[in-house]
Structure 1
Amino acid sequence: MSSETVRTRRTGPGTQRSGRVSLVATVSDDLRRRILEGRLNIGDRLPSEAELTRQYSVSRTVVREAIATLRYENLVEARQGAGVFVRNNQPANAAPFSQLDYARISSIIEILELRAAVEMEAAALAATRRSPAQEEAIAECYEDINTLIGAGEPTHDADMAFHLAIADATNNPRFREFLALLGLDAIPRAMLRPGADIRTPKEYLLKIQDEHRQIADAISLRDEQAARDAMRTHLIGSQQRYRARLRSGSASERNT
């Protein structure tokens, strides 16, 4: 990806790109616990974004993503010009798509088909609507994946963050809500039984990352059709790979 197309991010204490996804989980988990335990009551205002940034020693991006997680769980709500307030202090009911059969490749294919129908249009909209900051967020997520591949660490969390950044760039919050409902199950190689081996061959990850690059480039260049086509190639290609496994009966080998 060219330097003109993708801009990387300056990092500081607590904001290493390879750990941003886990930092989001840390912040959202702590705030959720404070709400559910009654330390923050319904109607209470959460600390400001700047205060949370200082409190947790994380970036504003991490704080925003953590708050977004709580919003989609219906625990907090944003009020224009006033801040973010506790809306509910009860855990959300089990989300749709939460009862997938992890042992079946057919479940993966079903999710990929659904994602393709939605995310192709999301990529096209992102290409026409994205702001410079949203373009940068997509680039940061792309580089997160590169960092993890280089370190030999799992990439499924960062992969999900990349797709969420594209959803955000549509400037239509329903796209993020859709992916949030799917959760990590949107990433096929994360749909494994607890304790399963989730290591993925580096060559496969590099191929997927090249597909990510083409999506990010098209969005950066505001090429609506190219973005749609690149997302289609990415998700339809994944479907084809899993259909091939289904035909060969190699469900037990599913680790990518």
Structure 2
Amino acid sequence: MSAGLGNGEQGPGGVPVLGQRVLRPRQQVEDALRGAVLGGTLKTGDQLPAEAELARQFSVSRATIREALSALQSQGLIRRVPGARGGSFVQAVDHHSLGKVVQESMHNLLQLGSLNFAEVAMVRQYLEVPSVVLAAANRSEEDLAELREIVQQQKAASVDDPVVPELDAQFHTAIARMSGNRALASLVYALHRESEPVSYLELSPTVGRKTVSQHQRIVKAIADQDEAAAEAAITEHLKYLRQHIKAATEKALKD
């Protein structure tokens, strides 16, 4: 089970290093299957062979196969469908799946109490500033039309409309996508979905109008391709949200 000899490295005294780390069977199976997914041997949507067949091919137990598949599932590379017609299927491996995997992980950590809302929200806010600056530099006319349409829907919605949080998420994640940096867009998507600020606000018509007004200033700065104005507008907006979320949280604790 060694990974091979003769890698060209030199040990003490110039003696060639012959040994390499010996992998456990589960790790070897996991590495082989991961390589098949990332290398393109297995395509998005492909079904992996059944556990019994994989166990035969690798000459390991089914328990070892299950452990390897569980690891790949936690990494977002495969999804496992129960039932007679189920099995293990290759997930899409792109920046969209990255955002979903990060979101699921953040959701679990928030649910367990390992992280709190304030920590996640702070990281999201740090990422949204460079996102809007890049969006101002890279936006297209189609991007502007999308943002303006979202803001129009926000203006028409009442503060108690359940669509309000979703529109807010669309606005911020669209800007991150316009940045042109897919890794950045994936992270903003995940963090915003799990720390959606509007959900934590005590919304009122005044807060709603102020938020929409701030969104309009952000869109104008992006349209003008004014990076400095875009940064200033998003910073003002995020500061406003932080203040109102803090006030709402303090009020809830007192009540």
TM-score, normalised with respect to structure 1: 0.54
| Contact in 2 for aligned 1:109/1:243 (Cα 8 Å) | no
- Structure 1, unpaired ranges of 5+: 1-39, 44-72, 77-85, 192-197
More helix by share: 2
2:128 is the alignment partner of 1:116: no
Task: State how 1:115-194 maps to structure 2 within 5 Å.
Answer: 115-149=124-158, 152-190=161-199
Query: What is the correspondence of 1:234-245 to structure 2 with a 5 Å cutoff?
Result: 234-245=237-248
Query: Which consecutive unaligned segments of at least 5 residues does structure 2 have?
Result: 1-43, 48-75, 80-88
Partner of 1:100: 110
Deviation at 1:252, TM superposition (A): 4.8
Aligned mates of 2:159, 2:196 — CA distance in 1:
20
Distance in 2 separating the partners of 1:171 and 1:250? 40
Cα distance, 1:240–1:150 mapped onto 2, change above 3 Å: closer
Q: Structure 1 residue aligned with 2:232, among 220, 226, 229?
A: 229
Letter in 2 for 1:250: K
- State percent identity of aligned pairs: 20
1:183 positional shift: 5.0
8 Å Cα contact 1:160/1:187 also seen in 2:
yes
Deviation at 1:119, TM superposition (A): 0.6
Within 5 Å, which residues of 2 pair with 1:59-98? 87-88=90-91, 95-98=104-107
Please say if residues 197 and 245 of structure 2, whose CA atoms lie closer than 8 Å, have aligned partners that are also in contact: no
CA contact (8 A) 1:115 1:235 kept: no
Tell me by how many angstroms 1:178 deviates.
Answer: 0.6
Q: Return the offset for 1:189.
A: 3.2
SS at match of 2:157: helix
1:3 — aligned with what?
none
Q: 1:87 to 1:148 in 2, by over 3 A?
A: farther
Q: What TM-score results when the alignment is normalised by the length of structure 2? A: 0.55
- The 1:144/1:236 distance shift into structure 2, 3 A limit, reads same
What RMSD, in angstroms, separates the aligned Cα atoms of the two structures? 3.5
Letter in 2 for 1:204: V
1:42 deviation in Å?
1.6
